[in-house]
Amino acid sequence: MRNSFSGVLILLALVFQVDGKALTDASLAEVSPAQDPTGSAAVNSPILQNAPSSGKKGLTFVKEAHLVDFGIDLVGCRNWSDPNGMNCDAYVGDTDCNQLRPVLCAKVDNTPRPAYVVPPTTGVMTPAYYAGWNLGHITTTVPVKGSQFYNRAAVDDYCAQSFGVGWRVALFDDGFFISGMNLTTYSGSAWTQNAKNQQRGGWHFYSYGDVRNDIRFWVHIRDQPSTCWQQ
């Protein structure tokens, strides 16, 4: 009797641990990837899914916009203006790891947020969460198989080898936001002065850069099995 009672307690403890883990993952717990809240209906394109499958899939982002005035890109889960566009899948990956895709690389230098518009969204999180600033630059490598990388460090190395010291693989949650930011609110020096209020967003982010828009690119996500490589 006593043994089975402690067994139940252990089981309960495990359940709470799993719950706690899921809840600390705020970027993912709040929204489902099939319903990326910043856009409309999901349409999956077959165009990029025609090579032999390895079974394993990796997470990819796509260029969504370039804002000429600021020299910045918006990259993320899906180009919502493209009726043939596909969603990313942050949980199990969206693109076969044996496909050739560029790696999205980032270099963070703490450059302040430019005064871009934060688009209104209907997501669970505040709109700024989906419009974070990555505090630096992005660029893309030549297309490579996601399966060629052993772990995140190997992808980081590949970015550094391609572009120099300080470049590393871009993250799903590379965008930082300050609640209420929009246009000049929390841009420039006001961004830097309020550094303590910066939080990580997810699904999309803005960055200096002008990357290609003809193909999706590999990105890294922490604490999820949706990368072609180990954490």
Ligand X SMILES: *[C@@H]1O[C@H](CO)[C@@H](O)[C@H](O)[C@H]1NC(C)=O
Q: Using CB under 6 A, pick the residue from 102, 127, 132, 201 that binds ligand X.
A: 127
Could you write out the three-class secondary structure of 134-179? EEEEEEECCCEEHHHCCEHHHHHHHHHHHHCCCCEECECCCCEECC
* 64 contacts ligand X (rule: CB under 6 A): yes
Contact by Cβ (8 Å): 143, 102: yes
Could you write out the three-class secondary structure of 171-183? ECCCCEECCCCEC
Q: Using CB under 6 A, pick the residue from 63, 78, 113, 220 that binds ligand X.
A: 63
Q: Using CB under 6 A, pick the residue from 28, 77, 86, 118 that binds ligand X.
A: 118
Q: Using CB under 6 A, pick the residue from 60, 79, 134, 141 that binds ligand X.
A: 79
Taking the complex as a whole, the smallest distance from the CB of residue 152 to ligand X amounts, in Å, to 27
Task: Report the C-alpha gap between 42 and 77 in whole angstroms.
Answer: 11
Return the number of the residue (212 or 222) whose C-beta is nearest ligand X.
Answer: 212
Q: 47, exposed or middle or buried, with CB in 10 Å at 0-12, 13-18, 19+? A: exposed
Q: Using CB under 6 A, pick the residue from 47, 117, 142, 165 that binds ligand X.
A: 117
Return the number of the residue (20 or 120) whose C-beta is nearest ligand X.
Answer: 120
* 134 contacts ligand X (rule: CB under 6 A): no
Task: Report the C-alpha gap between 103 and 144 in whole angstroms.
Answer: 7
Return the number of the residue (156 or 210) whose C-beta is nearest ligand X.
Answer: 210
Taking the complex as a whole, the smallest distance from the CB of residue 83 to ligand X amounts, in Å, to 7
Task: Report the C-alpha gap between 3 and 165 in whole angstroms.
Answer: 57
* 174 contacts ligand X (rule: CB under 6 A): no
Token digits for 101?
Answer: 């895709």
Task: Report the C-alpha gap between 204 and 173 in whole angstroms.
Answer: 8
**Hey, which residues between 176 and 205 contact ligand X (CB under 6 A)?**
182-183
* 41 contacts ligand X (rule: CB under 6 A): no
* 111 contacts ligand X (rule: CB under 6 A): no
CA 182 distance to own-chain centroid = 21
Give the number of C-alpha atoms closer than 13 A to the C-alpha of residue 178, restricted to the C-beta side. Answer: 22
Pick the stretch among 13-21, 24-32, 112-120, 202-210 that binds ligand X (CB under 6 A): 112-120
Pick the stretch among 13-21, 58-66, 143-151, 187-195 that binds ligand X (CB under 6 A): 58-66
Positions that interact with ligand X (CB under 6 A):
63-66, 79, 81-82, 117-118, 120, 127, 182-183, 213
